Each structure stands twice: as C-alpha cells, then as structure tokens.
Amino acid sequence: MTHFRNIPAVLRKPDSAQAPGQLTVVGGHLQAGEPLDRAARREAEEETGVRITPAQQEFCGIVHHHAPDGMDRVTAVFVAQSWTGEPHNCEDKRGGLFWVSMEKPPPDCHPYSAAIFQMLTHGPSYRALNWPTQGGAL
C-alpha cells in the first residue's frame, strides 16, 4: 500500500473521447517494444514534466477494466514518492493538472481512477472492474 494521500490527476477536456470533463490518473499507452515500467515513467514525464528513475518507481498492481465500448483495458499501476522537476500540465489536450485525495476523490473523478485510488489505499493489488457477473461467487 502507498504511504501518501494525494496524487496528481489530469482533467480531461469536455470534448475528450475518453472521460470527457473528468479527472483521471496520469497514464497512456505502450509503445512498440516498451516495457510497462518505462512506459509509466515516459508518460509521467510527457504529461507532468517530472522525471522518475527506476529506483524511485514502485509497482502497485494491475487493473483489468471491461469497458462498455468493448475496448478492455489493462493498467499496470506504478507510483513514485519522489521525482525530479516540478509537476505541471504539459499537454494542451488536458484541462490541467490537479492534486487529488486518494481517500476521498472529488465527484468529477472518473470511476476507473477512483477504483485505482481505492486499490492503492486499501488493496488488493489486482482489480477486475466492470465485468459482468457469471454464476455465483468463488
């Protein structure tokens, strides 16, 4: 579990294809041949301007989200409690960078991001989100 309470989140613009007008975790997509940890560091730098070394990065878990649009997503969740640089919004396609309470996310926080915050503060380290229930619980 993480030992901090606030995390940077980006505000999606109202015309964004995904999570319009909502706060989401910093992240993105893998590039061909890129390992997950490096992709997370690259995305953090591209979106917030901070540099994170492998030694500063901590793997926290996996979220597998079954999306209504049929585009299921698997997210590897990493955090860093230290970095180089001052966090700021680096992309014009975002509406800003904000510090969000993981324990009490604001109402405009995307449910996927809120679930990641719940996982970070309370566990478990794997979440399957939005999957239809089939049969009874195991």
Element at 6 (helix H, strand E): strand 6-12
Does 1 or 90 have the greater pLDDT score?
Answer: 90
Per-domain boundaries in the chain: 6-129
Over the chain, what is the mean pLDDT? 87
- Each residue's pLDDT tens digit, 65-114: 887 778 888 899 999 999 999 999 998 778 889 999 999 999 999 988 99
- pLDDT, residue 124, reads 85
What integer pLDDT is reported at residue 42 of this predicted model? 95
Fold of 6-129: Nucleoside Triphosphate Pyrophosphohydrolase (3.90.79)
Structure confidence at residue 4 as a pLDDT band (50, 70, 90): low
